[in-house]
Amino acid sequence: MPKVIAVLGVGPGLGLSIARRFDREGFTTALVSRTETRHASYRESLSGTTHTYAADVTDPAQVEAVLARITAEAGELDTVYFGPADIAGPRPVPLPSAGADAVRAAFDAIVSPAARLVEAVLPGMLERGSGSLLFAGGLSGKYPMPMLGSLAPASAALRMYVLTLNAALRETGVYAGALTIGGLIERGDIHRELTKQDHGFAMGTLDPDDIAEKAWSLYVERDVAEAEFTAMAAV
């Protein structure tokens, strides 16, 4: 039976590139995004067996339900990719003016869904003694980037969550890895939106296919917990 990867938070940028990279290795792909609007085009771009689902990855009940559907229709999950970046998600608020609610909103959109996802899928992986968990996060979780304001603490928490999870899972057969990204991902929704107008800061672009290739290397080699990508002039 083919292995199964679930791509949660799939979009036309990195999520789809991740799906294509694992599809080339014979994986069955299960793609999850907020709406079904672009699912037909996603399926057309993949050569193997693909399932598509509409669910909000920040809603615990919807995530639980969609994971159950994926398992029933595609099979046990070998790999889960979680990409929380969403143009509809919380916008950065400068930290000097951000209150607790703004900071908490980023945690609710980024960190809590990641932890709930792990809570749902990790027990089965541990029981089998195999599996992989891949998470995309922001470089503001590693270096101070004031323009990302209230999003930075959540990025830092997600990064450390994944790195600590990686260390805790050694010798279990289950791998956790972080893709730490600084820059706009080409073809993605956020890239398209931010390049429409001047937001007062410049960010370079990154090719999602390059990031997906590294994600595959993390999956295969499992010797490091993190891969960093930056198109920033200085951090």
Sign of CA dihedral 196, 197, 203, 204: positive
Domain that holds residue 86: 4-230
Closest C-alpha to 128, from 161, 167, 79, 72? 79
Per the domain annotation, does 120 fall within a domain? yes
Per the domain annotation, does 59 fall within a domain? yes
Per the domain annotation, does 193 fall within a domain? yes
Per the domain annotation, does 80 fall within a domain? yes
pLDDT at 195: 58
CATH number of the domain that residue 97 is part of: 3.40.50.720
pLDDT along the chain (235 residues), means of 10: 94 91 97 89 93 93 96 97 71 89 92 96 97 95 90 95 98 97 72 54 80 98 96 62
Per the domain annotation, does 18 fall within a domain? yes
**pLDDT digit string, tens, across residues 42-94:** 999 999 999 999 999 889 999 999 999 999 999 999 999 999 765 456 788 99
pLDDT at 186: 79
> Looking at the DSSP assignment, which residues form a beta bridge with residue 176?
133
Per the domain annotation, does 185 fall within a domain? yes
Q: What is the DSSP string of 65-90?
A: HHHHHHHHHT-S-SEEEE----TTSP
Per the domain annotation, does 235 fall within a domain? no
User: What is the tally of structural domains in the chain?
Assistant: 1
